[in-house]
Amino acid sequence: MHEPLLTKTRSALAQIEPLAAQGWAPAQSIARQLRWCVAFASGQPCPDRPGPFSMGLIATRELDMYGDRPELADLINQIQQEVEDALT
């Protein structure tokens, strides 16, 4: 189990899920990837990785460059990097 990663991922997911629930496609994609990361970080059995991660790029574009949530974008990028490092 990766407790610090799990804590970060749950925090990001809690912030992005309301946006996803409103039907915003970028948030839905990020939420789907974060859910996989929660399963991975908690050591739960999870399906195969859903392809290359794009949540960091989406978050940077939608939440930082064109939005007002640069801290959330940074958190999502940190999570993506930590998961990718753990997978290698």
- Specify whether the CB–CB gap between 79 and 37 falls below 8 A: yes
pLDDT score of 48: 84
pLDDT score of 55: 97
Domain positions in the chain are 3-87
Average pLDDT, the chain: 94
pTM of the model: 0.93
pLDDT tens track for 4-26: 999 999 999 999 999 999 999 99
Comparing CA positions, the residue from 50, 54, 61 lying closest to residue 79 is 54
pLDDT tens track for 46-65: 788 878 899 999 999 999 98
Measured distance CA(54)–CA(1) in Å, rounded:
23
| Residue 33 pLDDT greater than 90, yes or no | yes
Q: Tell the burial category of 57 from Cβ atoms under 10 Å away from its Cβ (0-12, 13-18, 19+).
A: middle
